[in-house]
Amino acid sequence: MSRALTVKSVFKVPALKIASRHLSTCATYFPGEPGAPVIKTSSVPGPISQQLNDKLGHVFDNRATYFLTDYYNSIGNYISDADGNLMLDVYAQISSIPLGYNNPELIKTAKSDEMTNALINRPALACFPSTDYSKILSEGILAAAPKGMSRVWTALAGSDANETAYKAAFMYQHTKRRGASDFSAEELESVMDNKVPGASDMVILSFDKSFHGRLFGSLSTTRSKAIHKLDIPAFNWPKAPFPSLKYPLDQFEAENRQEEDKCLSEFETIIKNYNGKVAAIIVEPVQSEGGDNHATPYFFQQLRNITKENDVLMIVDEVQTGVGASGKFWAHEHFDLPSPPDMVTFSKKFQAAGFYFSSADLQPKQPYRQFNTWCGDPSKALIARTIYTEVAKHGLVESTSRVGDYLYGKLEALSEKYPIGNLRGQNFGTFIAWDCKDADQRAHLLGALRNKGINIGGCGDYSIRLRPPLVFEQKHADILVGALEAVYAEL
Amino acid sequence: MSRALTVKSVFKVPALKIASRHLSTCATYFPGEPGAPVIKTSSVPGPISQQLNDKLGHVFDNRATYFLTDYYNSIGNYISDADGNLMLDVYAQISSIPLGYNNPELIKTAKSDEMTNALINRPALACFPSTDYSKILSEGILAAAPKGMSRVWTALAGSDANETAYKAAFMYQHTKRRGASDFSAEELESVMDNKVPGASDMVILSFDKSFHGRLFGSLSTTRSKAIHKLDIPAFNWPKAPFPSLKYPLDQFEAENRQEEDKCLSEFETIIKNYNGKVAAIIVEPVQSEGGDNHATPYFFQQLRNITKENDVLMIVDEVQTGVGASGKFWAHEHFDLPSPPDMVTFSKKFQAAGFYFSSADLQPKQPYRQFNTWCGDPSKALIARTIYTEVAKHGLVESTSRVGDYLYGKLEALSEKYPIGNLRGQNFGTFIAWDCKDADQRAHLLGALRNKGINIGGCGDYSIRLRPPLVFEQKHADILVGALEAVYAEL
């Protein structure tokens, strides 16, 4: 058992060997992992965690803490808390941690001279890029780029990935309208007072229940929950309805098509009514924070058609869905779009953040328009490169697809016996969710699961979402399903 | 000479020894530094830099590139480009890099197990903080907190440090007005449409020529240059005039007081006219990007008095001025304010970003309001801790104050002979700037200086700003002054 995994053993001893071939369903990525969760306290969080959290509260907002985490003793799919409880982690830092905790390849990257160089000499990337930045991007973030995307703008988190994409959209649309003309005197003057015509009166159109971040521009497009938005000024930007599909999908094909057509029609009406003022739309392949709301490929294909016809840019927010969890590297690859999106944003599982694009026109004509001091972080680009390399080398997207199908089947069987409502994510890797009766039942279930050694999270008003690492295997799925069966049986 | 400083020598051999006492004016922090710049190409950027930049341009926006940088061969105050030119760097990644390039103590931090752990197991800090996060914050970022500030909210860059501070201000003001009441049904509903009363109609008041970032909220308070703002939607928030002082200050005391009083009066009028709708003001101790515009301590004292009287929060943006360059750790410590600001934001030289505050009321009552996935980055908090420790141990703020006074004296003498206009930054460490005749002259001077081995930057419309690391010593000042004298003599 892995309780011997101390700092020393994890960081210093190259004991964790990884098979250099694709994982078969039997192979295991983390041979050093424990065979099952280990729960030592009567409930989670335990007393040490609570004591440390009280201390943290004196200096940092800690009201959302699940438990204080011992990252040194976490390994692979298992997260350790301060009390020595070792839990199977199917939440993974809100859908981050693609390669599991204390991944040996990431340890190598972290210990490398390249990383040291990136950390201690942090560049202002747009002014003083390092001689090797092009290579680092090309081998990592760009090697992973979705089809049709050849360039990247690097940022620091999902929110600013989206906001810089919005800025690119606004600049693109206004530049196109301005044609060969330079900025007018009136534009140059009015913009300093935050007024049109220098400031834009165009809008970003987002969807009901979407989540795109919490800074002022991104929060204006976020429509998930009131508590995310209350008391904060917001742009008067529109929202379109997102389909509410009925499950199981194969039993409600006609109704769901009707629902999607209704939403598409409203979507198109909003764009027409805005009369050329919608600069871009932003859409998640699956609305994650908002409750794991899926739509069919048809819906996304039509979004692409309508935006193309109306000269509106399409931004796909893959902050939570990207980097493999859906069983494809990018979730929008499930949709067989008639043409690629204009921009695709990423963060979370890639640790690095930013947006992909292809059109050179999305790079403003003048320098210093899309600009800031850091413009990303080479240390995160190095992490992203290792993540991409490992994912490709070990076929982790394919194994996630396979394990996801296995897990979905088990959950579908469970749902015959227990109140597992609207099971979602078939053929969508481990990106799986379902509904509880209500928020109280969900809170009970999440707590009960944690006490049984499963760290798991919710989304929307009463859904449970699965967000395990890409190194989640069939044996982990079996442990999860066993725990779920136990807590549902006790309901 | 230091061309032997290869990756190997910098990272692997502990050859760089540092005196463990405070630096005297003769002691040197980086014994391995070259004695002078080394310029190998006829101009900067040289051919290799240009070739690599062309390549980078295929994947990344590179139009603002000065030169491609060889960070492995940069050391202390000297930055190396791809062609092997070694320049004295008084720009330091736009006012970052406090301890110089390849600082041995930062190498130790980067190579530590703590850093590896932070890099490869990146937490969602508000949900799963590490057992040692409180300690890391307390020994670093919080040990450096300005007077009266006991808490911190960590972010990722200056822009989101400011935006999260704005959010804290809006939530604070609305919560106060709401009193014991809960959110109303109308608030909960309207906010989902980005409308009042759920969304806020309060404003942030900033100053003409200020720079506070480039995301949508921060950009709405930025008033530096049109090119930063054009084509981007902005909130209809007000701006107040910032004083234009006349130099030398001791010759224009009466005029400057009159100018500041005029600005203060307009400032107060705006606040009164907004009738309780100004949630907060944000102000830089020195408007940096906007042209190194200073105001006197009197001006800032009055801002604090007026904001207190009108129940408006005061946010001091120390993103560029903070962490020692002004000759005090926080530049607003020069002002002897009647009471501390409500929030102080930081980033750049600390590598970590965020805002300090003291009032527990600036932490929203409900969790998940000030929240995001990462809520900062422990790897940057570790870097910040080492920066703080080194700065304190070696008295780098005091030495910056001393070296700044020496440098200011030399520049004052030069300004008798050459057109060095409105020299600014007396008794303000190395945070020094002056005006050129116009933008063309500045471009010529910056280019000529670079060709003589000085990497230097501008600000405002025609100013040159000095932003060397905190390990900039008298000998470096002499090299800079020599180069300046040479390029001005050739004008």
Domain that holds residue A440: 394-491
Is pLDDT of A386 > 90? Answer: yes
Strands, DSSP E only, in A18-150?
A: 78-80, 86-89
Is the bond leading into A45 cis (omega within 30 degrees of zero)?
Answer: yes
Q: Which of B392, B414, B431 is the last residue of a domain?
A: B392
Does residue B264 fall inside a structural domain? yes
User: What is the largest distance, in Å, between two alpha-carbon atoms of chain A?
Assistant: 71
Taking only residues 134 to 163 of chain A, the set having a beta carbon closer than 8 angstroms to any beta carbon of chain B reads: 134, 137-138, 142, 150-154, 156-160, 163
Alpha carbons A267 and A238: distance in angstroms, whole number: 10
Q: How high is the ipTM of this complex?
A: 0.94
Q: Average pLDDT of chain A? A: 93
Give the pLDDT mean for A398-407: 98
Instruction: Give domain status of residue A9, yes or no.
Output: no
Question: Taking CB atoms and an 8 Å limit, are B69 and A194 in contact across chains?
Answer: no
Residue B167 belongs to a domain with what CATH number? 3.40.640.10
* Contact call for residues B184 and B197 (beta carbons, < 8 A): yes
The pLDDT value given to residue A366: 86
Is B428 part of the annotated catalytic residue set?
no
What's residue B27's pLDDT?
60
Residue B374 falls inside a structural domain: yes
By C-alpha distance, which of A107, A152, A144 is closest to A126? A152
Q: Are residues A383 and A429 in the same domain?
A: no
At A124, list the tokens: 């202002």
Q: Is residue A136 part of a domain?
A: yes
Evaluate whether residue A324 is within a structural domain.
yes
* Cross-chain CB nearest to B216 (options A115, A126, A217): A217
Q: How far apart are CA B173 and CA B277, in angstroms?
A: 9
> Among the options B30, B67, B211, B346, which is catalytic?
B211
Q: What is the pLDDT of residue B387?
A: 98
- Smallest CA–CA separation between A371 and chain B, in Å? 8
Whether A180 contacts chain B with CB within 8 A: no
- Contact flag B60-A137 (C-beta cutoff 8 Å): yes
Q: Chain B residue with minimal CA distance to A175? A: B231
Q: What is the mean pLDDT of residues A413-436?
A: 97
Q: Do B69 and A163 count as a contact with CB atoms less than 8 A apart?
A: no
Partner residue opposite B232 with nearest CB, options A68, A200, A218: A200
Clarify whether residues B229 and B156 are in a common domain.
yes
- CB within 8 Å of chain A, chain B residues 380-419: 383
Contacts of B115 in chain A (CB under 8 A): 110, 119
Q: Are residues A398 and A388 in the same domain?
A: no
With an 8 Å Cβ cutoff, are B120 and A137 in contact?
no
**B379 and B427 in a common domain:** no
Contact A226, B198 (CB under 8 A): yes
Contact A66 B127 (CB under 8 A): yes
| Extended beta strands in B343-426, E state | 343-346, 353-357, 421-424
A126 at B interface, C-beta within 8 A: yes
Same domain (yes/no): A406, A354: no
Spell out the alpha helix ranges (H) of B394-468. Answer: 396-417, 439-451
Best CA proximity match to A370, nearest among B66, B228, B211:
B228
Q: Do A110 and B120 touch (CB under 8 A)?
A: yes
Which tokens is B398 given? 């005091």
Residue of A nearest to B366 (CA): A63
| Catalytic residue annotation of A | 211, 317, 348, 373
Q: Which residues of chain A make contact with B363, given a CB cutoff of 8 A?
A: 61
Give the residue-averaged pLDDT of A281-302.
Answer: 98
- Tell me how far CA of residue A256 lies from CA of A243, A296, A299, B232, in angstroms: 8, 9, 10, 37
> Chain centroid to CA A47: how far?
32
Residue A288's pLDDT band (cuts 50, 70, 90)? very high
Report how many domains make up chain B: 2
Beta carbons of B158 and A373 less than 8 Å apart:
yes
User: Residue A242: pLDDT above 90?
Assistant: yes
Q: Cβ of B217 under 8 Å from any chain A Cβ?
A: yes
Confidence class of residue A319 from pLDDT cuts 50, 70 and 90?
very high
Pairing of the two strands B239-240 and B278-283: unpaired
**Contacting residues of B for A277, CB less than 8 Å apart:** none
In terms of domains, do A215 and A270 share one?
A: yes
Q: Is B99 among the domain residues?
A: no
User: Within this chain, do residues A228 and A356 fall inside the same structural domain, yes or no?
Assistant: yes
pLDDT of residue B95: 95
User: Which pLDDT score is estimated for B180?
Assistant: 84
Residue type for position A274: Y
Question: Could you read off the pLDDT tens digit of each residue along chain B, which spans 491 residues?
Answer: 333 334 334 444 333 333 333 444 446 788 889 999 999 999 999 999 999 999 999 888 888 999 999 999 999 999 999 999 999 999 999 999 999 999 999 999 999 999 999 999 999 999 999 999 999 999 999 999 999 899 999 999 999 999 999 999 999 999 999 998 899 999 999 999 999 999 999 999 999 999 999 999 999 999 999 999 999 999 999 999 999 999 999 999 999 999 999 999 999 999 999 999 999 999 999 999 999 999 999 999 999 999 999 999 999 999 999 999 999 999 999 999 999 999 999 999 999 999 999 998 999 888 889 999 999 999 999 999 999 999 999 999 999 999 999 999 999 999 999 999 999 999 999 999 999 999 999 999 999 999 999 999 999 999 999 999 999 999 999 999 999 999 999 99
Residue A2 reports pLDDT greater than 50: no
Q: Which of A56, A170, A192 sits opposite B233 (nearest CB)?
A: A170
Which residues of chain A neighbour B170 with C-beta distances below 8 Å? Answer: 231-233
Helix (H, G, I), strand (E, B) or coil at B114: helix
pLDDT at A344 over 50: yes
Taking an 8 Å cut-off on Cβ atoms, the answer to whether A160 and B74 are in contact is: no
One domain, residues A229 and A370 = yes
Selected for mutation to probe chain B from A128, A153, A368 (highest B CB count within 10 Å) is: A128
Q: What is the pLDDT of residue B77?
A: 98
Contacts of B166 in chain A (CB under 8 A): 216
Total CB pairs under 8 A between chain A and B: 397
Q: What is the Cα B357 distance to its own chain's centre?
A: 18
Same domain for A312 and A298 = yes
Query: Is position A10 within any domain?
Result: no
The closest CB to that of A82, out of B118, B131, B154, belongs to: B131
Between chains, do A65 and B127 touch, taking CB under 8 Å as contact? yes
Within-domain flag for B102: no
Shared domain check, A432 and A465:
yes
Q: CB distance from B27 to chain A under 8 Å?
A: no
What are the CB-based long-range contacts (under 8 Å, 24+) for A438-447? A438/A462, A441/A491, A444/A491, A445/A487, A445/A488, A445/A491, A447/A43
Instruction: Measure CB to CB from residue A120 to each of B94, B110, B117 and give the nearest one.
Output: B110
Contacts of B459 (CB under 8 A, 6+ apart): B288, B289, B290, B291, B292, B433, B465
Distance from CA of A438 to the nearest CA of B (A): 19
Active site residue B373: yes
- Is the pLDDT reported for residue A55 higher than 80? yes
pLDDT level of residue A29 (50, 70, 90 thresholds): confident
Q: Which site among A121, A156, A319, A450 would you substitute to test the B interface, given the most B Cβ atoms closer than 10 Å to its Cβ? A: A121
Among B30, B69, B86, B131, most A C-beta atoms within 10 A, so best to mutate, is B131
pLDDT at A216: 98
Q: Does the annotation mark B231 as catalytic?
A: no
Model confidence pLDDT, tens digit, residues A248-275: 999 999 999 999 999 999 999 999 999 9
The answer to whether the Cβ–Cβ distance between A62 and B126 falls below 8 Å is: yes
Domain stop point among A346, A372, A392: A392
Residue contact B127–A226, C-beta within 8 A: no
Close Cβ partners of A210 (under 8 Å, ≥ 6 residues apart): A221, A222, A223, A224, A239, A242, A282, A283, A284, A287, A290, A317
CA nearest to B221 within chain A:
A194
Report, in this order, helix, strand and coil percent for chain A, each rounded to 5.
40, 15, 45
Last-in-domain residue among A333, A367, A392: A392
Residue B127 in contact with partner chain A when CB distance is under 8 A: yes
pLDDT of residue A92: 97
Looking at beta carbons, which residues of chain A come within 8 Å of B232?
167, 170-171, 199-200
Pair (B331, B316) in one structural domain: yes
- If asked whether residues B248 and B329 sit together in one domain, one would say yes
Among candidate residues B160, B317, B342, B435, the one labeled active-site is B317
Task: Give the residue on A whose Cα is nearest the Cα of B115.
Answer: A110
